[in-house]
């Protein structure tokens, strides 16, 4: 077995975060439960481990168990001392520029969220306070770009996709880039990398040297989905719920490629939000797409949505297979509708303030414990947007059990998560999940995949 190559060196920022207060340094070095050291070490390792084909966060941490990161103030400013870091992040002993930028983006977001957020102005509701926090994180990361017409396309899809599907995601990204669109994804490999790669070529052809490749992650998932090397704006949100809200507030339209449980979670999130009566007239282009070979996949997704949320949910999206140019054309028309609507209503182009996101259903963090998973309300006697929220939580738990360190540990200690509800709903969910397993969409190491859930039929 080939030994993993490691590098010990020091790096400094090039453009920002030149200095930190002693208080900030102390917090980053604090290894207690209330300190930032553990989460900073995990996120930093994920950035340095760019290009990894391991999607088990615990396995990544074990592979680099001797990795350490120390923060100090030298006479020239801030310095990070890296011990036993992945050698793939360096060229001839020098850290790759994009990885350096993303490393300090992680530091920026962790410090900012810890120091500045958590406030709740007495004039804001709890829901408004969370949306305001998300806006502040994005603005602090320079992700808010006013006076530019809507052009940011969010691309969702699986990290474990086949070669044909990956090539198709690049083709869609290329067609989007030719039309001047920027790309936002979950920052990882697979369907998160492909659209960015395609767009870079198109942007180069169009002499667009300001192309944006925004990657939005969160501490629980970043080790399993290390940022791909094309990301030039990395943003780390505090949790999955704020990450999802950041996507739909910052982006102007969404394209969904084939994926597994995580992609289904994202689909249920956006449909649950759009199905609320306060959002029904709000234009928000949503396209499901893949190569012709993925037609059966989207038939399965469409059937699941219709069987659980009804035909009204299916009317919120379009399915296009095998035609990357048509996807881009439809997104361009959708963007025109968004632009016209925001002009007519006087709303901002850069942040989707009018979108209503329910506090209890979609903004409150869901902890996927065995008890919380077992008591999810998976019954039909509730509005479809509420059912979408509960199904989303169930899928979120499965994602945690597949790739997140805490979820994997919980499964090892207590066995699979159990989900119960109406018989028809459970059958529909079971069909969906079984199709993901059969199509090898749950994990990169699909040969050894053992379901972390049990559906009670």
Q: What is the pLDDT of residues 171-222, one digit of tens each?
A: 999 999 999 999 999 999 999 999 999 999 999 999 999 999 999 999 988 8
CA atoms within 13 A on the CB side of 451: 16
Q: What is the mean pLDDT of the segment spanning 433-443?
A: 89
**Which is higher by pLDDT, 288 or 13?**
288
Angstrom CA distances, 278 to 135, 155, 273, 358, stand at 21, 24, 9, 10
Name all domains of the chain by residue range, CATH numbers in brackets.
6-116 (3.30.1850.10), 123-457 (3.40.50.450)
Is 78 within 8 Å of 69 (Cβ atoms)? Answer: no
Q: Six-digit token pair at 346?
A: 């006087």
pLDDT at 446 over 80: no
User: Among candidates 117, 111, 114, 146, which has minimal Cα distance to 133?
Assistant: 117
What is the Cβ-side half-sphere exposure of residue 340, based on CA atoms within 13 angstroms?
Answer: 7
pLDDT greater at residue 115 or residue 171: 171
In terms of DSSP bridges, do strands 68-74 and 77-86 run parallel, antiparallel, or are they unpaired? antiparallel
Give me the pLDDT at residue 217, please: 95
User: What share of the chain in percent tops pLDDT 90?
Assistant: 70
Give the CA angle between residues 440, 446, 450 to the nearest 5°.
Answer: 105
Q: What are phi and psi of 185, to 5 degrees?
A: -140, -175
Q: Is the separation of the CB atoms in 265 and 397 below 8 Å?
A: no
Contacts 24+ apart (CB under 8 A), 36-42: 36/110, 36/111, 36/114, 39/110, 39/219, 40/69, 40/106, 40/107, 40/110, 41/67, 41/68, 41/69, 42/219, 42/222, 42/223
pLDDT at residue 415 above 60?
Answer: yes
What share of the chain in percent tops pLDDT 70? 95
376, 393 contact by CB (below 8 A): yes
Instruction: Give the whole-angstrom CA distance, residue 364 versus residue 60.
Output: 28
Mean of pLDDT over the chain: 91
d(C-alpha 269, C-alpha 200), whole Å? 29
pTM (two decimals): 0.91
- What is the pLDDT confidence band of residue 357, given thresholds at 50, 70 and 90? very high
For the record, the structure tokens of 393 come out as: 């939580």
DSSP state of 123: T
Q: Is the pLDDT of residue 118 over 70?
A: no
Which tokens sit at 399? 């994602």
pLDDT (0 to 100) of residue 57: 81
- Return the pLDDT at 1: 43
Residue 115 has pLDDT above 60, yes or no: no
Q: Give the pLDDT band (50/70/90) at residue 52.
A: confident
Q: Can you tell me the distance from the alpha carbon of 176 to that of 213, in angstroms, rounded to the nearest whole number?
A: 12
Gyration radius (Cα) of the chain, Å: 21
- Count CA atoms closer than 13 A to 47's CA, side-chain side: 32
Q: What number is the average pLDDT over the span 281-287?
A: 96
- 263 has pLDDT over 70: yes
Which pLDDT score is estimated for 116? 55
């Amino acid at each position: 077995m080939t030994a993993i190559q490691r590098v010990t060196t020091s790096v400094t920022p090039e453009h920002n975060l030149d200095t930190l207060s002693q208080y900030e340094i102390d917090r980053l070095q604090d290894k207690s439960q209330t300190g930032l050291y553990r989460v900073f070490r995990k996120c930093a390792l994920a950035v340095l481990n760019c290009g990894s084909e391991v999607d088990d966060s615990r396995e990544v941490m074990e592979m680099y168990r001797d990795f350490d990161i120390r923060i100090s103030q030298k006479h020239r400013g801030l310095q990070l001392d890296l011990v036993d870091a992945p050698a793939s992040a360096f060229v001839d002993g020098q850290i790759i520029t994009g990885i350096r930028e993303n490393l300090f983006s992680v530091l920026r977001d962790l410090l900012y969220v810890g120091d500045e957020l958590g406030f709740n102005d007495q004039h804001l509701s709890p829901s408004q306070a969370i949306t305001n926090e998300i806006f502040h994180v994005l603005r602090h990361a320079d992700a808010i770009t006013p006076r530019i017409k809507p052009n940011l396309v969010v691309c969702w899809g699986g990290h474990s996709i086949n070669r044909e599907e990956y090539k198709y995601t690049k083709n869609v990204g290329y067609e989007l880039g030719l039309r001047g669109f920027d790309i936002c994804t979950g920052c990882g490999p697979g369907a998160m990398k492909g659209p960015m790669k395609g767009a870079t070529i198109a942007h180069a052809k169009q002499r667009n040297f300001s192309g944006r490749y925004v990657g939005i992650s969160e501490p629980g998932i970043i080790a399993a989905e290390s940022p791909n090397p094309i990301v030039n704006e990395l943003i780390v949100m505090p949790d999955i719920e704020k990450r999802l809200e950041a996507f739909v507030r910052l982006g102007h339209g969404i394209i969904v490629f084939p994926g597994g449980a995580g992609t289904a979670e994202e689909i249920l999130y956006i449909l649950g939000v759009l199905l609320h009566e306060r959002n029904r007239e709000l234009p928000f282009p949503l396209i499901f797409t893949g190569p012709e070979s993925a037609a059966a996949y989207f038939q399965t997704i469409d059937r699941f949505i219709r069987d659980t949320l009804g035909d009204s949910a299916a009317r919120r999206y379009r399915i296009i297979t095998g035609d990357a140019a048509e996807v881009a054309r439809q997104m361009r028309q959708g963007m025109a509708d968004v632009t016209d609507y925001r002009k007519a209503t006087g709303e901002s182009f850069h942040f989707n303030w009018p979108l209503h996101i329910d506090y209890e259903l979609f903004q409150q963090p869901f902890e996927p414990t065995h008890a919380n998973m077992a008591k999810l309300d998976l019954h039909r006697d509730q509005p479809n947007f509420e059912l979408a929220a509960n199904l989303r939580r169930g899928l979120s738990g499965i994602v945690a059990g597949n790739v997140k360190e805490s979820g994997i540990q919980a499964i090892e200690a207590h066995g699979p998560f159990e989900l119960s509800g109406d018989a028809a709903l459970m059958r529909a969910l079971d069909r969906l999940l079984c199709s993901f397993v059969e199509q090898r969409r749950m994990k990169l190491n699909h040969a050894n995949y053992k379901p972390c859930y049990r559906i009670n039929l």
